[in-house]
């Protein structure tokens, strides 16, 4: 991105002054080097979002921002319903509530070598992953609606996981306001065999080691110490979320003119919050969030089963579960006044600071855990929300490394088997049904996650707490 397009405010904050139809400025949080490597499309998409009705404060991009659909991936924007604000299906994206959860195991890295291969094989064979895979849970119409209304709470009620897990999931594991009746039969059909599946692409299940704890006080509250073995799960709302996104994108594109909304890009498809389409979407999207929460809960149950067989001394407890692609109603201060806003995070993590009432009591004093997924060959990070983050971008931070190379380029550069072999040489076991998929997800195809996390830390969006490195990775 051309730095001349931006005005620098401090080391990691860059502003785009309102011009043309922009209602608010654009703000990008990133280092100069990340900005330099950012696609020009991010600039275009940040400015396009700033033109949408009812947007408040600014259109934000996180340090991992890259070219998305309508919104940049790594985009954050909030809308005030009383100012004609909109909800955007494009601003949430196809994989509704795609997210990451982190489980402590109570084990250390010394416990792994003797069973590492066995554990990798068992996780690969017992957690459905990849194209065409089906889950062990098949839902009839009644159960589907119950799942869509209840999320992870429904899953726990069915025996998938522990009641105490719910406290450590955003929304306590159940997104209020979900309307299963707003979810089409097509979307439900796409989901009926997909509960408890990882999916494909950048989704993964990893056994990781905590290699560094940067803030031992917060690390102690989070229950992570150097040498600990942890498990990360990254997946979303599967076919149901994709279908909801597809259908509402179309209905919002075709209804935009009726709502007198001028779309600079059809992918920004949106509808007034206080409109029939807007309300229908919110009900369906919240059901999609519950689907993702239930899905990660079932996958967690399967992981616990595998550990119980292979490392029975393990106790898998949930540190936290974050969602990346959402629109949520939150209260934030606008010009000093508490205001109810519809906050869109597209490829961005909620990062509420210390004391926020939505953080579980056990963690509230330090802030919300922010889980940043890396690649299968690099690292993931645990961060914590800061007091400053609430004022910077509605309590939001980055979500991952972000690709630096297209799948096409990655395929030309790497062969899956070589990637698997190279990583095995570094002590990382990769299990995947598709070697082509592994090549497309090669670690070198992503930005440097450490640089992204350092930028988020430096900008005070979230504070770096721990670095995790993969030991076993199951890719879809």
Partner 1 sequence: MQSPSSEMVHDNSWEHFPHEADIGVRGIGMTKEAAFEQTGLALTAVITEPTSVAPTQTVSITCEAPDDELLLVDWLNALVYEMATRKMLFSRFTVRFNDHSLNATAWGEAIEVARHQPAVEVKGATYTQLSVKRDEQGHWIAQCVVDV
Residues numbered 184 to 223 that lie near partner 1 (CB under 8 A) are 186, 189-190, 199-201
Q: Is 41 in the site for partner 1 (CB under 8 A)?
A: yes
Cα 234 from Cα 202, distance rounded (Å): 8
Among 384, 354, 365, smallest CA distance to 463 is for 384
Cα angle: 366, vertex 369, 375; to 5 degrees? 145
Question: 306: part of which helix (H) or strand (E)?
Answer: helix 276-310
Instruction: Select the span of 6-14, 67-75, 139-147, 417-425 touching partner 1 (CB under 8 A).
Output: 67-75
Q: The tokens of 327 are what?
A: 């629109």
Of the pair 45, 380, the CB lying nearest partner 1 is at: 45
Neighbours of 4 (CB within 10 A): 6
Residue 406 beta carbon to partner 1: minimum distance, rounded to whole angstroms = 4
Q: Is 440 in the site for partner 1 (CB under 8 A)?
A: yes
Our measurement of the distance from residue 253's CA atom to the centroid of its chain's CA atoms, rounded to an integer in Å, reads: 25
Of the pair 170, 441, the CB lying nearest partner 1 is at: 441
146 to 185: interface string for partner 1, x by CB under 8 A: ----------------------------------------
Residue 69 beta carbon to partner 1: minimum distance, rounded to whole angstroms = 5
Say how many residues make up the chain.
476
Does the annotation mark 15 as catalytic? no
Given CA atoms 417, 419, 423, 429 in this order, what sign does their dihedral have? negative
Neighbours of 417 (CB within 10 A): 11
Residue 268 beta carbon to partner 1: minimum distance, rounded to whole angstroms = 9
Q: Is 249 in the site for partner 1 (CB under 8 A)?
A: yes
- Position among 91, 130, 367, 377 found at the interface with partner 1 (CB under 8 A): 130
Cα 396 from Cα 350, distance rounded (Å): 5
- Position among 99, 402, 443, 470 found at the interface with partner 1 (CB under 8 A): 402
- Position among 108, 251, 317, 409 found at the interface with partner 1 (CB under 8 A): 409
Cα 279 from Cα 274, distance rounded (Å): 7
DSSP-derived 3-state class of residue 112: coil
Q: Count residues binding partner 1 (CB under 8 A).
A: 49
Q: Is 217 exposed, middle or buried (0-12, 13-18, 19+ CB in 10 A)?
A: exposed
Q: Is 433 in the site for partner 1 (CB under 8 A)?
A: yes
DSSP-derived 3-state class of residue 95: coil
Catalytic residue (one of 36, 324, 399, 415) = 399
| Catalytically annotated residues | 399
Binding site for partner 1 (CB under 8 A): 39, 41, 66-70, 73, 93-95, 130-134, 186, 189-190, 199-201, 239, 242-243, 245-246, 249-250, 253-254, 265-267, 269, 402-403, 406-409, 411, 433-437, 440, 476
């Amino acid at each position: 991105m051309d730095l001349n397009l931006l005005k620098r405010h401090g080391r990691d904050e860059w502003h785009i002054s309102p011009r043309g139809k922009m209602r608010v400025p654009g703000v990008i949080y990133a280092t100069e080097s990340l900005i330099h490597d950012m696609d020009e499309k991010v600039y275009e998409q940040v400015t396009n979002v700033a033109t949408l009705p009812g947007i408040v404060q600014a259109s934000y991009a996180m340090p991992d921002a890259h070219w998305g659909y309508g919104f940049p991936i790594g985009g954050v924007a909030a809308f005030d319903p009383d100012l004609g604000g909109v909800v955007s299906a494009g601003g949430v994206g196809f994989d509704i509530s795609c997210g990451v959860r982190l489980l402590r195991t109570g084990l250390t890295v010394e416990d792994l070598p003797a069973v590492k291969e066995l554990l990798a094989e068992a996780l690969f064979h017992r957690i459905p992953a990849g194209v065409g895979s089906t889950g062990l849970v098949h839902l009839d119409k009644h159960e589907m609606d119950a799942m869509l209304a209840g999320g992870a709470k429904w899953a726990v009620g069915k025996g998938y996981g522990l009641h105490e897990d719910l406290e450590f999931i955003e929304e306590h594991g159940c997104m209020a306001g979900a309307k299963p009746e707003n979810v089409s039969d097509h979307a439900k059909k796409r989901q009926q065999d997909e509960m408890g599946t990882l999916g494909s692409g950048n989704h993964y299940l990893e056994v990781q080691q905590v290699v560094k704890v940067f803030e031992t006080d917060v690390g102690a509250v989070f229950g992570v110490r150097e040498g600990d073995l942890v498990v990360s799960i990254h997946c979303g709302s599967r076919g149901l979320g994709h279908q909801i996104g597809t259908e509402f994108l179309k209905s919002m594109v075709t209804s935009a003119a009726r709502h007198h909304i001028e779309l600079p890009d059809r992918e920004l498809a949106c509808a007034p919050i206080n409109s029939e389409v807007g309300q229908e979407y919110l009900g369906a999207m919240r059901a999609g969030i519950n689907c993702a929460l239930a899905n990660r809960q079932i996958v967690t149950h399967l992981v616990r089963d595998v550990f119980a067989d292979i490392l029975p001394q393990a106790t898998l407890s949930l540190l936290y579960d974050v969602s990346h692609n959402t629109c949520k109603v939150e209260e934030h201060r606008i010009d000093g006044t508490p205001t109810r806003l519809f906050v869109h995070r597209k490829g961005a993590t909620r990062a509420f600071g210390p004391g926020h009432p939505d953080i579980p009591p056990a963690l509230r004093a330090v802030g919300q855990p922010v889980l940043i997924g890396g690649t299968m060959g690099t690292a993931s990070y645990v961060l914590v929300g800061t007091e400053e983050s609430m004022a910077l971008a509605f309590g939001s931070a980055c979500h991952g490394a972000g690709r630096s190379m297209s799948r096409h380029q990655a395929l030309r550069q790497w062969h899956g088997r070589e990637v698997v072999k190279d990583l095995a040489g570094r002590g990382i076991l990769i299990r995947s049904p598709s070697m082509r998929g592994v090549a497309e997800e090669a670690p070198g195809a992503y930005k440097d996650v450490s640089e992204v996390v350092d930028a988020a830390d430096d900008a005070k969006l979230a504070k770096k707490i721990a670095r995790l490195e993969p030991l076993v990775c199951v890719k879809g």
